[in-house]
Amino acid sequence: MRRTTILALLLFAAIAAERARVRADLPERSDRVVSYTIKARLDPALKEIRGEMDLVWRNASSKPVDEIYLHLYLNAFRDKDSTFMREGTGEGRAGSRRDEEYPGFVRIDRLRGADDKDLLPALSFVQPDDGNEKDGTLARLKLPAPAPPQETLSLKVEFTSRLPRVFARTGWSGDPEDPDSLFFMAAQWFPKVAALRVDGEGEPRWDAHQFHRNTEFFADYGTYLVSITVPDGYVVGATGKGTGSAKNADGTVTTTFQQEDVHDFAWTASPRFRAKEFTWTFDSFCDDSPKLGLKLRELLARTAQHRGLEASQVKPGNTVTVRVLYQEDHEELLGRIWQAAGASLACYGMWFGRYPYETLTIVDPPAGGRAAGGMEYPTLITIFSDAHAPPYATGLESVTIHEFGHQFFYGLLGSNEFEESWLDEGFTSFTDARVHEVAFGPETAATRYGPFHTPRFRPFEAPSVCGRLRSLFGVGKLLDALPRPWKRPDSLLPVPGAAPFWDYLRDMPALHFDAHVRIPQPMGDRGGYLRSGTRDAMVLKGWEFADRTDYRANSYPKPSILLYTLRGMMGEEAFDRMMYAYAEKHRFKHPTTEDFLAVAKAHDDKTGSFLDAMVETAERFDAAILEASHRKVEEGGAGGPKWEWTIRVQRRGAVELPIEIRAGDELLETWHSRGRETTRTFRFVREGPLDAVRLGPSWLATIDADLSNNARSVEADGLPAATLAARWTFYVEEIVRSHAGVAR
């Protein structure tokens, strides 16, 4: 009795300690290593920003530092010889190219220390990554005297930033001669101090790289106070909170923005912007959108339960002013942007800790400025929208949710985007699909037709005759009720015992009245990962990947698939707890791959070999049935005839995952294949013959490279083959018909 009481008390104490830990308040602020006070003046005619900057930097290490590094990202657009331009073919974002007539650069005009001493002669371009002497995107400043530990260093910098015609995130668009037509996106526009890291031994090390085609950005947290002067009539949006605005005698307006605990500052200006403000709180958003609100409240309750809390203890956020800067003809899209942003604030806030800032600015660039779209900056994101995009084409929602997600994986968890892009892009890709699923359903309008990828091409985008017929006679509802392969990943291939008859019917080309094809996002990620044929390890520095395809596959879909699989292995509850623990522990810090792996393995030590294989290698996972057979072993007798089933299963590749062996509804065995034992024969004695075998669990379907060997029937079955044949006929017919324009 006594012992039981003590045990119970110990157990209770352990649970209480765990609860106290998850309830611990999130870090309130960053280490604030840098402080920028910048006066910026935009000259629309020259496409230039003249800046005066007071920079205060603190040596946060325990050793003296005798040099500091400055990122001069805009110099990537100076000429064709920059490392950024040499690594690409000149192509930019959204189908744009660099315009040689309108290059970009940043020039430091004056550089002085606190004692007003000229430091410019001590500044030089350096190229630690590739030795390209023509590259001017990183500069080193030899300090006149070492900066002592924990002491601050003040610099006064005057600079000129010429923005390029936008083709890679930053720049301007419009008619260069007409200031009323211009759109400016000022990103990576000022000289920015690189991040000083402290290695294990306490040795400081500058984490400074040149600007590469495949890399994004990395800097330390700090405070920004930026006043922006533009012509009167321009609408300005920026990182942080506007603290005041004043008209000047020369026909300009100066607006000041302030933000603490961020690691970058971006702004935008255009006379053509319309502005709309929304006020977000979790409760008001849920009340105003009842259907979505109900789902979010249910999710909040579930998330709280996963973390061992009451629903009232999970706070997704305080009050956030969401300001959308949009184009005049996009007014009807405002509601959709707001729904996507509001759902994102709620979901990310409950999963990873509340959004700590008071503002979120969403920039909708004009058609000519799409190359600035789809990008994240602290408290400011850029999206792209198309006034004619039909509601089912959810690209607008997707880009809003994705870029908002970076407020967490990039913003609050400031990983090194030069070196470990999977920690921001991969985590955001995985989570944006989850938000999308909660808010808008699991599927996105796809531009994939079976095995064919057709980017920016939707055969049925225009309302087709078939589409109208579909809605007219209610055929649509009937068709929606049919099972579809892309709705259930594990039925992507017809297997015996599923619904071969319905599969067959569904795939008859004549029955296809679909206006568009939708697939769940995990299957999109699966396609991206498996189609890439990547041979690189998942975590490399951005410019070390064999090519851009490998960079992208390893930054977006592969890590996303890794997280789906991890959630499958751990179960949603443990997974949610683990992800929250990671986000909480590393908020306002610079987590690395090792930091994430440590948290994941601490929550579930069985995930270690899987995580290591995914991170360190390009190995794929494939579970395969090599044999499924049966023989009668006992005739008659008391229990009737007995059958021996023989099932041989193989794990292909070094990625180790549990493989379930199922026959009908019965789980026969879960095989934890490890190391060199890649094949095993299983024998079961049952009262009847074996019909078919199928491998699971269902979440394996997102990562398993070949689903066609995951199911096998003992007797030959012609229906799956007929179903496949019908499906291929359909694909080929659709492609041919669409290209010929017959469908319209």
Binding site for Zn ion (CB under 5 A): 425
Per DSSP, the three-state class of 703 is coil
Name the phi and psi angles at 656, rounded to 5: -105, 120
Residue (364 or 425) nearer to Zn ion, CB: 425
Residue (414 or 459) nearer to Zn ion, CB: 414
Q: Please state, as a whole number, how many other Cβ atoms lie within 10 Å of the Cβ of residue 17.
A: 9
Residue (425 or 490) nearer to Zn ion, CB: 425
- Distance, in Å, from the CA atom of 321 to the CA atom of 334, rounded to the nearest integer, reads 15
Q: Supply the minimum distance, in Å, between the C-beta of residue 402 and Zn ion.
A: 6
In which region does residue 583 sit, left (phi positive, over 0), alpha (psi from -120 to 50) or beta (all else)? Answer: alpha
- Distance, in Å, from the CA atom of 572 to the CA atom of 553, rounded to the nearest integer, reads 25
State the helix-helix crossing angle for 572-585 and 2-23, rounded to 10 degrees: 60
Residue (417 or 704) nearer to Zn ion, CB: 417
Per DSSP, the three-state class of 245 is strand
Q: Which of 587, 557, 563 is nearest to 575 (CA)?
A: 563
Q: Supply the minimum distance, in Å, between the C-beta of residue 383 and Zn ion.
A: 12
Q: Which residue is nearest to Zn ion (CB)?
A: 425
In this structure, is the dihedral angle defined by the CA atoms of residues 609, 610, 616 and 620, taken in order, positive or negative?
Answer: positive
How far is residue 531 CA from its own chain's centroid? Answer: 19
Tokens of 525: 């990620």
Which residues face 696 on adjacent strands?
Answer: 660
Q: Supply the minimum distance, in Å, between the C-beta of residue 490 and Zn ion.
A: 29
Side chain identity at 143, as an amino acid letter? L
Q: What is the DSSP string of 63-121?
A: S-EEEEEEE-GGGGGSSTTSHHHHHS-SB-STT-B--TTS--EEEEEEEEETT--B-GG
Tokens of 332: 């009807």
Torsion of CA 364, 369, 371, 375, to 10 degrees: -30
- Distance, in Å, from the CA atom of 731 to the CA atom of 458, rounded to the nearest integer, reads 14
Q: Please state, as a whole number, how many other Cβ atoms lie within 10 Å of the Cβ of residue 733.
A: 13
- Distance, in Å, from the CA atom of 207 to the CA atom of 225, rounded to the nearest integer, reads 25
Contact 201, 233 (CB under 8 A): no
Q: Please state, as a whole number, how many other Cβ atoms lie within 10 Å of the Cβ of residue 13.
A: 10
Q: Supply the minimum distance, in Å, between the C-beta of residue 240 and Zn ion.
A: 21
**Tokens 């920079």 sit on residue:** 55
Residue (425 or 525) nearer to Zn ion, CB: 425
Within 8 A by CB and 6+ apart from 261, the residues are 29, 30, 32, 221, 222, 223, 356, 588
Within 8 A by CB and 6+ apart from 308, the residues are 15, 18, 19, 22
Q: Please state, as a whole number, how many other Cβ atoms lie within 10 Å of the Cβ of residue 404.
A: 29
Tokens of 286: 């849920």
Cis-peptide into 557, omega within 30 deg: no
Q: Supply the minimum distance, in Å, between the C-beta of residue 216 and Zn ion.
A: 8
User: Would you mind telling me the total number of residues written for the chain in this entry?
Assistant: 744
- Distance, in Å, from the CA atom of 588 to the CA atom of 611, rounded to the nearest integer, reads 25
Please give the DSSP secondary-structure letter assigned to residue 148: P
Q: Which of 658, 667, 643, 666 is nearest to 609 (CA)?
A: 658
Instruction: Show the CA angle centred on residue 311, arms to residues 305 and 317, nearest 5°.
Output: 115
Residue (425 or 536) nearer to Zn ion, CB: 425
Pairing, β 192-193 against β 65-71:
antiparallel
Residue (420 or 425) nearer to Zn ion, CB: 425
Contact 533, 732 (CB under 8 A): no
Residue (161 or 379) nearer to Zn ion, CB: 379
Residue (425 or 622) nearer to Zn ion, CB: 425
- Distance, in Å, from the CA atom of 723 to the CA atom of 744, rounded to the nearest integer, reads 27
